Structure formats: structure tokens, C-alpha cells
Structure 1
Amino acid sequence: MLLTDVDRFIIPTAVIDRTDTALREAGRRGAEKFVLWTGHVVGRVFTAATAYVPDQVPHRLPDGVCVTVDGDALHGLNKWLYEHQQTLAVQVHSHPTRAYHSDTDDTYPIVTQRGGLSLVVPNFAAAGIRGSGTALYRLSGSGWHRQRGWTARRLLVLDGEAPRNGAAI
């Protein structure tokens, strides 16, 4: 099944909590972090099973921060996906301020399958994924596109229910 056929991504609370913890721990050190949501596609629904944290290196640059995941870590991810019979569908990472897809995010994604999602969490995830300002993007043949409002809420279901009022996605 292709991710382009998926119209709902369900993310259980345990996956969200592990992701928030990893992003916040890195944020306390002033660093970005990548967490990858892997799981299974059944019909038109992807259900996350794992918050996979690849080996990565944070960087402080004159114009900001970033994180890199090297080739060995990507190979380890692909091997892990094969061994666990899971699909990589969503990449999540934090930004130090507002959430948006930077040129670097567009050019060097970890999720490369069309239909995959990229979730960007602001303020080093201080308020978590469910906090205000989180941004959701979906990959198409022409690049990453912001998902907003009802479309985003229908597409990404956090812990089995739609986000409450005030949620950014």
C-alpha cells in the first residue's frame, strides 16, 4: 500500500508521549531532534506503532540550528523497518521558534515516500505536539504542502480522536 492512498494517520498516545519527551530533552540543550513514526498501513489507514529515534547529531550554525542523520543511521533505520515489518510514514522534528518547513527540511527529508507526513513542532516542543503552532506538511510529487484546518485534523488523528479546539493542526 502506498502512503498516497492513506487518508488517515492514527497516532497512539504512547507514540506521542515518547516523541514529546525526546523533542523536549533535546530542546533543553538548545537542539533540534528528529523522531520518526513507523507502523502499519491497513486499507487507507496508517497506525503508528513506534516512535523511532535515529542516531543524529545536532549542530549550532551562525544562522540557526539543525540536526543531521548520517548514512549509517539511515541504513540502521531501513534494516530496523525491514526486521520489524513496519513502514516509515511520518517525520517529526522541532524548531527553536515557530514551526515551518525550511529549505533544509524540504531538501533533506527522511520521509521520502509520496503521501508521507512531516510534523514541525515549535519552541523545541515546550507545549508538545498538541500545542499551538504545530505545522503539518504532506509530500506530493511537487514537494511538501502545508495541511491546515479540517484537512489536517482529518488526516492526522492524535491518540484516536480529533484535536480539541485550539490545536494548531
Structure 2
Amino acid sequence: MLSQVRLTSRPKGAPLVPLDGNLALAAPGPADWPSLKARGIGAVVDLGDAAPGRAAAARGSGLRYLALPVGPEHLPLRGELYVAISWLEKRAAEGTSGLIADPSGRDSDCMLAMALLIGRGWEFERAYERMRRVRAGFGLAAWQSRALLLHLAQQEAAKA
């Protein structure tokens, strides 16, 4: 679990921001995959633009990898959020720490992290404030808000 990972040694690689037990955010490049594995990450949901070789580089470093490219013109469908969250939660149940990676800097990683944390029982406001502490200037774009609200509505409907 990430809480057991020693981040004080500051290994080379992308800055890693622990969120909730076995979940973290980072904006890694393929050269960072080995350092993430060494820091306790075992699974990556990559929201970055699809680039040749990214998946092979991650898997070659021993990481489980799910590509879910999210661009500024693309509204993540409820199904896409569900796939990413389900995949990360399955890895967590297996004892694997997960990383949400968005090298684009569009805050899609924070939006997905919010959906996951809310699914773990966090209140919306608590999850939003956590993301604002993690990333200065964080805010949800209109398309991110729509995706998150659709996902939350789906969760509520499933509970009923």
C-alpha cells in the first residue's frame, strides 16, 4: 500500500502524490515507469493521449496498465469512468497500489480521483477540497463536471 511506501527518499521520477491508502496521482512519462514500480505502484490508469510504446514501456516495467485517453474535446462516458474505477478498485482488492496518470495537466486525473474517492464514501466537498490541496488552481471544467455528475447519478441509481 502507498501508506507503506517510503516517499522521503525522493527517488528519481515523476512527483507522486498519495491520496487515499493505495491511490496516488502523478504525471509520468515512460522513463518514469521503473521508478513508480520501485515506489510501490503496481497499476496505472493512463489518461494521457495515446502514444506508441507507452503501454509496452509500462508493462515492461512490471506495471499493470490501462489506457483511457481523455482529451479536452472528449467527454468521458459513464462507462469509461466505471471501467477505470472498477479496474483500480480490483487492483486495490488484490493489494496493488494504483496510480492515476495524466501527463497533459488537464486535471482529468483529479476528476477521476474525485469519482473514485466519492465511490469510497467521501462526500463531494471533501473530495473536491482534497484535490484543491493536491493541485493549486484545480477546478472542474464544464465537461469534467458533466462527466462526474453523470457518474454520481449512476452510482445513486445503482444504490436505489
User: Whose helix fraction is larger, Structure 1's or Structure 2's?
Assistant: 2
User: What range is the shorter-chain TM-score in?
Assistant: 0.3 to 0.5
Q: TM-score, normalised by structure 1?
A: 0.34
Q: TM-score, normalised by structure 2?
A: 0.35
